[in-house]
Amino acid sequence: MVMLFFVFLFMLSEQNVTFTMHGLLGMAPNKVYCAVILLFFFCGAASVSNRNQKAELVVNASGGRQIPETFFGIFFEEINHAGAGGFWAELVSNRGFEAVRQNKSLNIHPWSLIGDESSIIVSTDRSSCFKRNKIALRMEVLCDGDTCPVGRVGVYNPGFWGMDIKQGKIYKIVFYLRSLTSVNISVSFTSSDGLRTLANTNLIASAGDVSNWTKMETLLEAEETNPNARLQLKTSKKGVMWIDQVSAIPLDTYKSHGFRNDLSEMIANLKPRFLRFPGGNFVGGDLLRNAFRWKDTVGPWEERPGHFNDAWNYWTDDGLGYFEFLQLSEDLGALPIWVFNNGMSNLGREKASNVSLFVQV
């Protein structure tokens, strides 16, 4: 026996009947007069004998019901780098060298080497000053001065899909540095092949200034526009240095709170009354050990441990965290709706007695 199920939704006004679903989401008068659901069940041959029967449906469309002001809002889902690498304005991918892939060892992807093994050796170790982010990049420069390749040696980061650098914009560059000797580091934005410089500055420090972990900060003003740029850290000075927590972000963000202006303004123009965050599968993960834990996403960004988003198979440093979403909700004039983990993932669940680990305030 075959059963067919039909659902018809239509909006009724006092003057006419419109067969559409658009009105459910966007009626200008802010009133939904009536939504009628007609269910028809046809079971085998019985439907043939009833085909000529008539039925009368009477609809009273004289009244109305006010739509709540909070009916329209934004659902945010951290998927395909919608936040990290998208809505959030941070340009550097894997800024703490902590990125891991499920069942694989630590790696520094997408960071890459500038120079060859005869002039520079790059590795990682657990020497960072950040207790929850112990991995740091170790860079041993073997060449010195004129013996280095033209253009110096170092590392570069292409961001998520190339850094979108705009002429005239100013970008704040931050990284942490430790060195056994004095340093002279070139910090620059370049084209994807490194041949064309978009912005550049040199940071110079004595050995005494950087013998312990030191925060380095500078501003870069782009002289050209390039949607597929990269950030480079280079030197021609022999020695060993460690680098960690590298950030590049435009100074001009939405209300100076770290979100991209263009996307934020588009969302603000929708006039959402609520913001739901940070996602669905992103919160639960495939495995509970990779579930989103909100308390790990607050505090200084350098101290946030990040986690592997195994639902969508990429690392996030959680620079876009619980606090940032609350701030965005305030900036948009929207109510925050927090999606928290209830102790379940796609492939497992926690004992009820342990759920407080995920939701405790």
**Residue 217 is which amino acid?**
E
346 vs 93, residue with greater confidence: 93
d(CA 194, CA 188): 10
Quick one: pLDDT band at residue 204, thresholds 50, 70, 90? very high
Q: Is the pLDDT of residue 101 over 70?
A: no
| Model confidence band, residue 38 (pLDDT cutoffs 50, 70, 90) | very low
255-261 average pLDDT score: 97
Q: What is the pLDDT of residue 294?
A: 86
**Per-chain mean pLDDT for the chain:** 84
pLDDT: which is higher, 342 or 1: 342
Residue 74 pLDDT grade (very low, low, confident, very high; cuts 50, 70, 90):
very high
Q: What is the mean pLDDT of residues 18-29?
A: 35
Label residue 115 by pLDDT band (50, 70, 90): very high
> What are the structural domains, with CATH classification, of the chain?
3-67 (no CATH), 74-85+254-359 (no CATH), 90-250 (2.60.120.260)
pLDDT of residue 23 exceeding 60: no
Residue 159 has pLDDT above 90, yes or no: yes
Question: Can you give the pLDDT at residue 350?
Answer: 77
C-alpha gyration radius of the chain: 28
Give the pLDDT confidence score for residue 293 in this predicted structure.
86
User: Which has the closest alpha carbon to 274: 340, 333, 341?
Assistant: 333
pLDDT, tens digit (0-9, with 9 covering 90-100), for 121-158: 999 999 999 999 999 999 999 999 999 998 899 999 99
**224 pLDDT tier (thresholds 50, 70, 90):** very high
Rounded to an integer, the average pLDDT of 237-254 is 97
With the C-alpha atoms ordered 124, 100, 173, 191, is the resulting torsion angle positive or negative? positive
Q: Which has more pLDDT, 199 or 357?
A: 199
pLDDT tens digits, 59-69: 888 877 888 88
Per-residue confidence (pLDDT) for residue 37, from 0 to 100: 37
Q: Indicate the pTM of the whole model.
A: 0.79
Instruction: Say if residue 107's pLDDT is above 50.
Output: yes
